[in-house]
Amino acid sequence: MALDLFSPAKLGAIALKNRVVMAPLTRNRAGEGGVPQDINVTYYEQRATAGLIITEATPISPMAHGYPALPGIYTDAQIAGWKKVTDAVHAQGGKIVIQLWHVGRISHPSLLPNQAEPVAPSAIKPAGQAFTYEGLQDYVTPRALGIDELPVIVQDYVHATRCAIAAGFDGVEVHAANGYLLDQFLRDGSNHRQDAYGGSVENRARLLLEVVQAVVDTIGADKVGVRISPVNPFNDMKDSQPQQTFNYVAQALNQFDLAYLHAVEGGIHGGGESEPFDFEALRKLFNNGYIANLSYDKAKGNAVIASGHADAVAYGVPFIANPDLVARYAKNAPLNEADSATFYGGNAHGYTDYPFLTA
């Protein structure tokens, strides 16, 4: 019998009741101190019929923040807030992993402790503007991280992973996509370093591999996924040889025997046109589970699972507007339309008030 979106699956240690994955979605509705609040519990609980929920990207330290009202995963209060989320999802029979995030240069001093400069592999100012509590402000030139600071960042990922375990998550996803810190190291448009973390693809991938090794040592490889976006130009990103760069990354990650690799298969967030890229070739290089992401609908999702290209498919906007997306796909029911004006920040409107199927 052919596999489809409704077939159970296993990604490492994580058993999925179906292959419909909720993609990580920044919603900017955390409480004071980056603590998840009751409205966040409701939001995730509503979507627990997904085979797997990947949380919104979650900063691993005070210096990892780049937007207002983000939840964190580095304080006791944040752990307690997330524990309510994981308990609610588990009570509904769902599985949930947390996406670990450091934004790097995509921040602003007003969002960082003591008005600190954002950090990056190199002192290259990204085009565009930061979302701050005072509105849009131009990005600043980031401070290039010293080589002695990189082990500290690796330890921030370890601490966040320990916090995730304490909060009851089924695993963690290392965010190495969409122009944030680890992606900034991977791609040569943002990494002009002359040391062991710059130049060759082996050097540019070094920090990601050190982070993954440390996270694996903390929680176990079968509970760790990695997200990449080889050709997403969002956040002023580019690479001179993306196929070579990310084919290397996919193969290098095999050494860890991870739960999955999660790939954004193109450009998202209006970053511009993405370059051509052979995602089938990339997928064949990675030995374990593969989550495909970008503009999939039910038919396309079923097709890539049946073909063997993907083990699961991540859906973003459809899950914002359809907490019961799995049931709607199963019944071929019409989908709610998403209100993009309520994606980022606000209250329950456009967050927890989308209607469920009534029959």
Residue 315 is among the residues annotated as catalytic for this protein:
no
Residue with tokens 């130049």: 199
Task: Give the pLDDT confidence of 25-61 residue by residue, as tens digits.
Answer: 999 999 999 999 999 999 999 999 999 999 999 999 9
DSSP-derived 3-state class of residue 339 = coil
Residue with tokens 């207002």: 68
The mean pLDDT value for 67-79 works out to: 98
Arithmetic mean of pLDDT over the chain: 97
Please report the pLDDT score of residue 276 as a whole number: 87
pLDDT of residue 273 exceeding 90: no
Q: Is the pTM of this model over 0.75?
A: yes
Please report the pLDDT score of residue 267 as a whole number: 77
DSSP-derived 3-state class of residue 263 = strand
- Which residues are CB-contacts of 229 (< 8 A; sequence separation ≥ 6)? 177, 178, 179, 183, 263, 264, 268
Percentage, residues of the chain above pLDDT 70: 98
DSSP-derived 3-state class of residue 5 = coil
Please report the pLDDT score of residue 270 as a whole number: 60
With cut-offs at 50, 70 and 90, classify the pLDDT of residue 271: low
111 neighbors 70 (Cβ within 8 angstroms): no
Tokens of 294: 């970008």
Task: Give the pLDDT confidence of 145-164 residue by residue, as tens digits.
Answer: 999 999 999 999 999 999 99
100 neighbors 73 (Cβ within 8 angstroms): yes
Residue type, 68: P
Please report the pLDDT score of residue 224 as a whole number: 99
How far apart, in whole angstroms, are the C-alpha atoms of residue 19 and residue 6?
6
Task: Give the pLDDT confidence of 112-125 residue by residue, as tens digits.
Answer: 999 999 999 999 99
pLDDT of residue 22 exceeding 90: yes
The mean pLDDT value for 213-229 works out to: 98
- Which residues are CB-contacts of 302 (< 8 A; sequence separation ≥ 6)? 4, 5
pLDDT of residue 272 exceeding 80: no
How far apart, in whole angstroms, are the C-alpha atoms of residue 98 and residue 53?
8
How far apart, in whole angstroms, are the C-alpha atoms of residue 56 and residue 40?
11
Q: Which of 67, 139, 157, 180 is catalytic?
A: 180
The mean pLDDT value for 323-345 works out to: 97
Please report the pLDDT score of residue 126 as a whole number: 98
